[in-house]
Amino acid sequence: MHKRSLGTSSLEVSALGLGCMGLSHGYGPATDTQQAVALIRSAVERGVTFFDTAEVYGPYLNEQVVGEALAPVRDQVVIATKFGFTFGDDNKQQILNSRPEHIRVAVEGSLRRLKTDYIDLLYQHRVDPDVPIEDVAGAVKDLIAEGKVKHFGLSEARAQTIRRAHAVQPVTALQSEYSLWWREPEKEILPTLWELGIGFVPFSPLGRGFLTGTVSAQTTYGSDDFRSIVPRFSPSALQANQGLVVLIRQIAAQKQATPAQIALAWLLAQAPWIVPIPGTTKLSRLEENLGGADITLDASELNAIDSALAQIRIEGERYPEALKARVGR
């Protein structure tokens, strides 16, 4: 597995990381713990060194799984986790909370669950409008000085917020959605990251599964699957967006690859400081995804993809209305 540096920082990771959320949260019932541990360790064996989790995934369960899986190889891997919420009595309600005193409490909990004494990359999961980003960056700066955190990251933050945070504590990476069917970051985010020397970690690089070509207009999701409430996964949107899948399948056939591998190769080709974190619960899909790092798309192929994409209009919002206010702050 090739390595990449996140921006101009010293943080070097595998070209593809593993998004661990789906093992415990968001896409149906949690995977059996031992199966999840085995999958994560299989990723390590195949050269993955970058693992993404968060206290909200479960909540808490995913950090425990990641901690157990990576404890034997802790010094060989990079663990990223996130703070930014408190939870209701039932642990289901998510309340934004990035107050400095809460950040410290959250980090102590994450360290315990991850079975480690430091976090390689600590993200603010979502921008909290009630807490100045300078205060958030200052709190993380203190944790870095104490050795409990190595690098600071933001998630789904807008360009101005990134700049303000970076002025207090250098931001190593931004994590936001980016893929062939969500290219909004190209307008302001990517130029800002390039200017400031910040790495980019795209989540949902496979469009929550849509870009793999396995989702049709007839696909349905259970109430415990986040996609059941996402407008972009409504039957009408799925039908309208099939043209994108047709395009990716055509390119995949030409490159003797799978649609998922093309989607990942396209992201990797956008900049050398981009590190996607596809997630999966299956070893076969893990191996397929990692194959995307071995595919090279040249300039003519990338230009052809851009030209074809320009003719395709993607339908449907990526978040339900109730959650849209949490992104792009």
Please list, in sequence order, all residues whose beta carbon lies within 8 angstroms of the beta carbon of residue 236, skipping any fewer than 6 positions away.
217, 315, 316
pLDDT tens digits, one per residue of 205-217: 999 999 999 999 9
- The mean pLDDT value of the chain amounts to 97
Sign (positive/negative) of CA torsion 33, 37, 38, 40?
positive
Q: What is the pLDDT of residue 3?
A: 98
> Residue 72 and residue 176: Cα distance in Å, rounded?
30
| Whether residue 57 lies in the annotated active site | yes
> Residue 261 and residue 257: Cα distance in Å, rounded?
6
> Residue 137 and residue 168: Cα distance in Å, rounded?
6
Q: What is the pLDDT of residue 90?
A: 78
Candidate list 27, 57, 60, 123, residue with the active-site label: 57
Q: What is the pLDDT of residue 106?
A: 98
Please list, in sequence order, all residues whose beta carbon lies within 8 angstroms of the beta carbon of residue 52, skipping any fewer than 6 positions away.
17, 18, 19, 20, 21, 80, 81, 175, 201, 203, 277
Please list, in sequence order, all residues whose beta carbon lies within 8 angstroms of the beta carbon of residue 145, skipping any fewer than 6 positions away.
none
For residues 23-40, average pLDDT: 97
Strands 85-87 and 94-96: antiparallel
pLDDT tens digits, one per residue of 41-76: 999 999 999 999 999 999 999 999 999 999 999 999
Evaluate if residue 92 carries a pLDDT over 80: no
Q: Please tell me the total number of residues recorded for the chain in this structure.
A: 329
Q: What is the pLDDT of residue 14?
A: 98
**Hey, what are 181's tokens?**
């069917």
The pTM of this model reads 0.97
> Residue 14 and residue 123: Cα distance in Å, rounded?
18
pLDDT tens digits, one per residue of 270-307: 999 999 999 999 999 999 999 999 999 999 999 999 99
Neighbours of 151 (CB within 10 A): 24
Q: What is the pLDDT of residue 213?
A: 94
Evaluate if residue 149 carries a pLDDT over 90: yes
Q: What is the pLDDT of residue 61?
A: 97
For residues 163-187, average pLDDT: 98
Evaluate if residue 257 carries a pLDDT over 80: yes
Q: What is the pLDDT of residue 274?
A: 98
For residues 238-244, average pLDDT: 96
| Percent of the chain with pLDDT strictly greater than 90 | 96
Q: Which of the four pLDDT bands, split at 50, 70 and 90, describes residue 325? A: confident
- Which residues of the chain form beta strands (DSSP E)? 3-5, 12-14, 18-19, 50-52, 78-83, 85-87, 94-96, 119-124, 149-155, 171-177, 199-203
Q: Which of the four pLDDT bands, split at 50, 70 and 90, describes residue 78? A: very high
Q: Which of the four pLDDT bands, split at 50, 70 and 90, describes residue 329? A: confident
| Percent of the chain with pLDDT strictly greater than 70 | 100
For residues 102-127, average pLDDT: 98
